[in-house]
Structure 1
């Protein structure tokens, strides 16, 4: 996956949404891991071709793929 962009998922905001950025471009605000997957699909990544917990591709800030509530 060396040719794939690095995806950063930011900490949850007050509403529980997490900003998603790929290769420097903001893709949107996700409220579930399915939202992250949809943003990636729209960006051209094939569903099932990655693991959203893979630290080589994803940088989760403020919690991992199961953390959606703001602190």
Structure 2
């Protein structure tokens, strides 16, 4: 099963790449950044989506953690 939003593992310099439907939408340094990317993509109530495994997959590292790997 594939989810539409992937928050990738933290980079060595900090931040996590965010993809929506396979398209890179930005580098997030906190949950606020992710919510803004989702809002710009037209996803309403994006704050509630962050912990919904049907919508979001957190890869590598703990969810909601953005510091360098």
TM-score of the superposition, structure 2-length normalised?
Answer: 0.83
Instruction: Indicate if the aligned counterparts of 2:7 and 2:17 stay in contact, CA closer than 8 A.
Output: yes
Structure 1's unaligned 5+ residue stretches are none
The count of residues paired between Structure 1 and Structure 2 equals 67
Instruction: Indicate if the aligned counterparts of 1:17 and 1:29 stay in contact, CA closer than 8 A.
Output: yes
Q: Which has the higher strand share?
A: 2
Tell me what 1:31 maps to.
Answer: 29
Q: Which has the higher helix share?
A: 2
Q: Distance in 1 between matches of 2:46 and 2:5?
A: 16
Residue 64 of structure 1: how far off its partner (Å): 3.6
Structure 2's unaligned 5+ residue stretches are none
Moved over 4 A (4+): none
Match of 1:52 among 47, 50, 53: 50
Q: Distance in 1 between matches of 2:47 and 2:6?
A: 17
| Counterpart secondary structure, 1:11 | strand
TM-score of the superposition, structure 1-length normalised?
Answer: 0.81
